[in-house]
Amino acid sequence: MSSRYLSSDTDSVRHLLVLPDRDAAEEAAEEAAQRFTLDEDPQIVREALAGEDDAEDAQWLVVLEDPEGELDLAALRELAEEYDGWLERE
């Protein structure tokens, strides 16, 4: 993933739910806010695949800040998979 999503705080963790479309990202972001105790609302970011200009060739990221590194990775992975996506941890 691009370095612009990396946290500058060495203790802080940033989780990325990588999803196939905007609708899935919006729904997953809402669900994450309900399921987890978050200091900040999840951010939704469009990430175009390298060399692609077409909106069809984009992934959508739900960015979750985890300052204490306490979020349950299995639960995050499960949430991403519910929306046909996957979890990456930065």
The pLDDT of residue 53: 57
Q: Can you give the pLDDT at residue 34?
A: 96
pLDDT tens-digit series, residues 8-44: 445 679 999 999 999 999 999 999 999 999 999 999 9
pLDDT at 63: 97
Domains of the chain: 12-89 (3.30.70)
Q: Is the pLDDT of residue 2 over 50?
A: no
Nearest Cα neighbor of 66 from 1, 7, 2, 3 is 7
pTM summary value: 0.79
Give 44-71 pLDDT, tens digit per residue. Answer: 999 876 555 555 668 999 999 999 889 9
Measured in whole angstroms, how far is the alpha carbon of residue 77 from the centre of its chain? Answer: 10
